[in-house]
Amino acid sequence: MAKTVLMLAGDFVEDYEVMVPYQALLSVGVNVDVVCPGKKKNEVIATAIHDFVGFQTYAESRGHNFVINKSFDEVKIEEYAGLYICGGRSSEYIRLNHSVIEFVQYFFEKNLPVAAICHGIQVLTPANVLKGRTLTAYPAVGPDITVAGGVYKEIDADKAVVDGNLVTSPAWPGHPAILREFYKMIGVHIG
Query: Whats the size of the chain, residue-wise?
Result: 191
Q: Which residue has the higher pLDDT, 51 or 121?
A: 121
Does residue 119 have an active-site annotation?
yes
Domains, the chain, in order of start with CATH, read 4-186 (3.40.50.880)
DSSP 2-19: --EEEEE--TTEEHHHHH
State how far the Cα of 142 lies from the Cα of 163, in Å rounded to an integer: 16
pLDDT digits (tens, 9 = 90+) for 86-129: 999 999 999 999 999 999 999 999 999 999 999 999 999 999 99
Whether 51 has a pLDDT exceeding 90, the answer reads: no
DSSP 57-97: S-EEEEEEEEE--S-GGG--GGG-SEEEE--BTHHHHHTTS
pLDDT digits (tens, 9 = 90+) for 15-30: 999 999 999 999 999 9
pLDDT of residue 110: 98
Whether 191 has a pLDDT exceeding 80, the answer reads: no
Catalytic residue among 64, 119, 175, 189: 119
pLDDT digits (tens, 9 = 90+) for 150-187: 999 999 999 999 999 999 999 999 999 999 999 999 99
pLDDT of residue 139: 96
Helices (H) and strands (E) in the chain, counts: 5, 11
Q: What is the pTM of this model?
A: 0.96
Say which residues have a Cβ less than 8 Å from residue 7's Cβ, sequence separation at least 6. Answer: 18, 21, 22, 32, 33, 34, 35, 83, 84, 85, 86
Q: Grade residue 137 by pLDDT with cuts at 50, 70 and 90.
A: very high
pLDDT of residue 74: 98
